Amino acid sequence: MSQTLQVVAAGDHFVLPDLIARAVADEVGEHPVNVSELRLGWPLEPFGPVAEVTEASDAEDELIEALAGAEVLITQMGPVTERVLAAAPDLRLVVVCRGGPVNVNLDAAKAHDVRVCFAPGRNAAATAEFTVGLLLAALRRIPQAHDLLARQGSWEGATYYTYEHSGLELEDLPVGLVGYGAVGSRVARVLCAFGAQVMVYDPYVRGEIHGLRVTSLDELLARSRVITLHARLTPETRGLIGARELALLPSGAVVVNVARGPLLDEDALCDALESGRLSAAALDTYAREPLPAGARLTAPPLAERVVLTPHLGGASRAVAEKAAAIAAAEVGRWVRGEPLANCLT
């Protein structure tokens, strides 16, 4: 490590470079540090695959230039590819301000003797709150009523006060949670406070839970008027909820997904909504992002039965601040020679 630590804060329009810089300065204390700030384009510019990594800003050249002489990189969307690592021989630590370093070539990092850390849990509270917000919006037809009144000047939303069209309330409602990690457990606590009958399916979780543990996914689906998805996306969980699973839900059920789009078969969901098997769905994530123009979910009559948001579950100022703080804490440990807390290489 050089006498003055050289850090690149490759932030973006969410995790701002100056947030990272201030957090690093607070964390390293009296150790001399020079933080170079670089702002990448996300989310004003979409992320995507870059070379061999995914969910990254297309900014290899800018990152290579910024990393000249740098020992530490803190970023959220920077493309840490083989090309970038090869061009940054002084780099020794990469900290990614997100729940997993999907934008880092881990094999190449290991080969170049670069440690890679990440920031788990930074958006758990925000995503849990957003999940409950989408759930309430879908149950009570809030966006549809708002659109009729605020955008069209129509009082026709009053039809939602009829028995036929009125929504469900959370109290005593059977709600099934698929997954009970950092987000799912928070959602369970909130729903229990509303008085919902919370059920949980997660074969990997042991110990106490909020709600009733259910031992099979099929049982959970058959007993739930609403399901919310909180599982990680793995080869095992991809397409976890398809046509067969949706058919197990009671007629008029609601599906909420603020986790990962590919957990849910969107075509099967659209079929279930069109047939009336499902009464509503609320989605923040999709199989393809951005959601393609002309997608079935956005076309009548489905558009009137869904609540759609553009992957905003983790979009709170607190998340950006937490991400910068978690990342800076890893830099502080590294400077002090302490074990790194969330490290993959």
pLDDT in tens, 224-259: 999 999 999 999 999 999 999 999 999 999 999 999
Query: Of 2.60.40.10, 3.40.50.970, 3.40.1030.10, 3.40.50.720, which CATH number belongs to 5-122+316-336?
Result: 3.40.50.720
User: Residues 260, 266, 305, 330: which is the catalytic one?
Assistant: 260
Give the start-to-end residue ranges of the domains of the chain: 5-122+316-336, 124-308
Q: How far is CA 124 from the centre of its chain?
A: 8
Contacts 24+ apart (CB under 8 A), 163-172: 165/141, 167/139, 167/140, 167/141, 168/139, 168/140, 168/225, 168/226, 168/254, 169/139, 169/140, 170/135, 170/136, 170/139, 170/194, 170/195, 170/196, 171/195, 171/196, 172/196, 172/197
Q: Is 244 a catalytic residue?
A: no
DSSP assigned state of 150 = I
5-122+316-336 against 124-308: fold identical: yes
Rounded mean pLDDT of 15-39? 96
Residue pair 7/25 in contact (Cβ under 8 Å)? The answer is no
pLDDT band at 1 (very low <50, low <70, confident <90, very high): low
| pTM higher than the cut 0.95 | no
Six-digit token string for 76: 């959220």
Closest CA to 283 of 315, 249, 300, 260: 260
Six-digit token string for 228: 């919310």
Q: Is 260 a catalytic residue?
A: yes
* pLDDT at position 2: 57
pLDDT tens track for 125-182: 999 999 999 999 999 999 999 998 898 999 988 888 888 888 899 999 999 999 999 9
User: Residues 62, 129, 289, 321: which is the catalytic one?
Assistant: 289
User: Residues 39, 311, 321, 333: which is the catalytic one?
Assistant: 311
Q: Is 317 a catalytic residue?
A: no
Residue pair 17/39 in contact (Cβ under 8 Å)? The answer is yes
- Please give the CATH topology (third level) of the domain spanning 124-308: Rossmann fold (3.40.50)
The 10 Å CB-count burial string (b at 16+, else e) for 167-181 is: bbebeebbbbbbbbb
Residue pair 158/214 in contact (Cβ under 8 Å)? The answer is no
Six-digit token string for 310: 């553009």
Residue pair 59/52 in contact (Cβ under 8 Å)? The answer is no
Rounded distance between C-alpha atoms, residue 186 and residue 307, angstroms: 21
